[in-house]
Amino acid sequence: MSEFSLPIRVYIEDTDAGGIVYYVNYLKYFERARTEFMRALGVDRAAISDNGWMFVVSKMSLDYRQPARLDDALSVTLVAQHVGAATIDFDQTVRRDQTLLVEGSVQIACVDRDTGRPKRLDGGLRAQLIQATQQNKVTG
């Protein structure tokens, strides 16, 4: 499977009063990595298309292992595990050096922007995503 990695620095705005990353910010880090992964595939606006569709998170599961702290240099990774007709399943992590801080699985779904109903992935985009799941490594 292909792995995509995005470096992230922890800023004061990401932390609580004790200098520890507030838990919800890991979701933002995951989102940024998915967006940059799609950008690396050539999809400029990964969340919302001019063609009437958008991506939404339909499932998510996270395990928090250790906290990240102010000024940490992190690596947010993802591996596209499965591409369905209208969904993409990702495994994602946040690491500081080799230390696993957070791991999770995320499913995003393609939906019609007006109705919110599931919409099949564009054939070209789906083919790119399937190819990305089969490559050894995709880097950003």
On whether the CB atoms of residues 41 and 132 are closer than 8 A, the answer is yes
Which residue in 14, 16, 44, 114 is the catalytic one? Answer: 16
DSSP 29-67: HHHHHHHHHHHHTT-SSSSB-TTSEEEEEEEEEEEE-S-
The angle at the Cα of 5, spanning 80 to 112, to the nearest 5 degrees, equals 45
On whether the CB atoms of residues 84 and 72 are closer than 8 A, the answer is no
Cβ atoms within 10 Å of 51's Cβ, excluding its own: 9
> 55 forms bridges with which residues in the sheet?
110
- Cα–Cα distance for residue pair 46/49, rounded to 1 Å: 7
Per the annotation, the verdict on 91 as an active-site residue is no
Active site residues: 16
